[in-house]
Amino acid sequence: MTLAELTEKMKEGAGSKQGFGNTVKFSTPDGAIFIDGKQSPPVVSNDDGAADCTIKMTLSDLVDLIGGKLDGMTAFMTGKLKVEGDMGVAMKLQSILR
């Protein structure tokens, strides 16, 4: 799955969710996916701006995380996922991404 395809999938999923009050950026070597959770529903884009929480991982691991094949906590504990900024925001994402 490409970054553009994943971004579209996340846009579709976010359309039925409520805002969560923060901004999050998934940063991959292939580009970024930015979620503005201050809006309701959250707005998903490929902006590479500053965020309350930045999650760094490879695109393939991000695809697995969004697809439910990779557990976020396991990814964090094994070093596949790195969090910069507010860890509490990262914890909120579990309900947003499912």
Residues 19-52 as b or e (16 or more Cβ within 10 Å = b): bbebbbbbbbeeebbbbbbeeeebbbeeeeeebb
For residue range 39-63, list pLDDT tens digits in order. Answer: 999 999 999 999 999 999 999 999 9
Is 3-97 in CATH node 2.170.16.10? Answer: no
What is this structure's pTM? Answer: 0.90
Q: How far apart are CA 4 and CA 80, in angstroms?
A: 21
User: How sure is the predictor about 15, in pLDDT bands with cuts at 50, 70 and 90?
Assistant: confident
According to the model, what pLDDT value does residue 96 have?
A: 64
Give the rounded percent of residues in the chain with a pLDDT score beyond 70: 95
Overall average pLDDT of the 29-46 stretch: 95
According to the model, what pLDDT value does residue 85 have?
A: 94
Owner of token pair 């971004």? 7
Q: Residue ranges of the domains in the chain?
A: 3-97
Overall average pLDDT of the 14-28 stretch: 91
